[in-house]
Amino acid sequence: MKIQSVIGIALAAILAATAARADNPSIVNGNVQQRAVTSGLSGEFDALVKGQTSPVWIGYEAPAVNGDYEECCNFDYGSTRFCGQCRLEDGSQGFNMTSDKRTTHLEAPDLVVMFRVENRAVEKVRVFSEDCELDAGGRSVYWLTGVNPAESVELLTSLVKGAGSRPEPEDGEGRDHIADGAIAAIALHAAPEADAALRGFLAGDEPEKMRERAAFWMASARGRVGFETLKPLARADSDDRFREKLMFDFTLSKQPEAIDVLIDSAHHDPSPRVRGQAIFWLAQKAGKKAEGAITEAIERDPETEVKKKAVFALSQLPKDEGVPLLIGVARSNSNPVVRKDAMFWLGQSNDPRALDFFEQVLGRP
């Protein structure tokens, strides 16, 4: 057989497998009905939702952002599949993200977006990796094909914006649960429209919870664009509570400059709470740059509470770095509250160097 023929057969097999995957989602224990989207996702989706009184699921696939993670409910460590089975009707199960990938893909796996619908309204939005097997719990599943990613983001954005005006779902999970799932789904879309939608949710006049969710996903899923979007907010946003939450979000960013934002906030933010949070998360990042910012806060920050948080941050550093610094603070800092805190955390370290220091303080030979 000629090489060209072999290649042609192989390509045909790959294309067939890809088509089969798109047309046959990995859904079990459910009545799957396929529908092609031909005249716009929002209109066809709304018409389908308004026709449902009993619980059903509506789902589709969309291209996912490139990331070293899988979105699964369970992780099947004994299988080459890695993603275990997810039960759609189990309200206690969300999804988990892991960077411990066991599968190898030529390209990023697609994102599966699932909507639970009852009484002519969306009750829940859940997202999964295409590698997950979904148990529909005996429900009907309408599987949409030919979905445009930009239209998917538009649909999900409308659900986020409308969450506050919808009645409380009967399952008790709350309207916020719809917004949570929809924002996560938007963030995981490989589409520029997702960045624009998340920026809209970050606007200062939006509800606090919406802003916090959007910031979390900007940092964790949107790469360089997400970092550059959040960076000015760390300095300029007028909401102290929001800036305080942002400090954690920067630890999720894979951009190397994220630690510089934390250091800047630890030095210059007008709020002691924000400075304290920046110092705390710097300790989790560790490294020489973080160490310098923490020790400088102990020496120079005007607020004793910020100094105390910085002392605690030293206790979170690797012992070879943190214990000597704590000993130095306990020995020579001019603030008695700070010295006392340093002594306390040294006592918690169970480090022989701390014991030697205590013996010196007590005057024992």
The pLDDT of residue 7: 41
Q: Using an 8 Å Cβ cutoff, are 261 and 282 in contact?
A: no
Prediction pTM value: 0.82
Give the residue with greater pLDDT, 13 vs 205. Answer: 205
Share of the chain above pLDDT 90, in %: 66
Quickly state the pLDDT bin for 230 (edges 50, 70, 90).
Answer: very high
DSSP 3-state assignment of 157?
A: helix
pLDDT of res. 162: 85
Assigned token pair, 341: 């805190």
Is-contact 185 60, C-beta < 8 A? no
As a whole number of angstroms, the distance between CA 329 and CA 343 comes to 9
The Cα 311–Cα 280 span in angstroms is: 9
CA neighbor of 28 nearest in space, from 85, 81, 76: 85
User: Which CATH number describes the domain made up of 234-365?
Assistant: 1.25.10.10
Note whether 132 and 76 are within 8 A (CB).
Answer: no
Tracing tokens 């400075």 back to the chain, one arrives at 275
Question: Which residue ranges make up each domain of the chain?
Answer: 234-365
Report yes or no: 133 and 83 within 8 Å, Cβ to Cβ: yes
- pLDDT at 74 (0 to 100): 61
- The DSSP code sequence of 21-52 is HHHS-SEESSEEEEEE--S-HHHHHHHHHHT-
pLDDT tens digits, residue range 3-62? 444 444 443 433 333 333 445 568 999 999 999 999 999 999 999 999 999 999 999 999
Do strands 75-76 and 70-72 pair parallel, antiparallel, or not at all (unpaired)?
unpaired
- Per-residue model confidence as pLDDT tens digits over 95-141: 555 554 444 444 567 899 999 999 999 999 999 888 888 999 999 99
Our CA angle for 243, 318, 291, nearest 5°, is 50
Q: How many helices (H) and strands (E) does the chain have?
A: 15, 12
Residue 7, class by beta-carbon neighbours within 10 Å (0-12 exposed, 13-18 middle, 19+ buried)? exposed
Q: Where are the alpha helices (DSSP H) in 163-271?
A: 175-187, 192-201, 208-221, 223-236, 240-252, 258-268
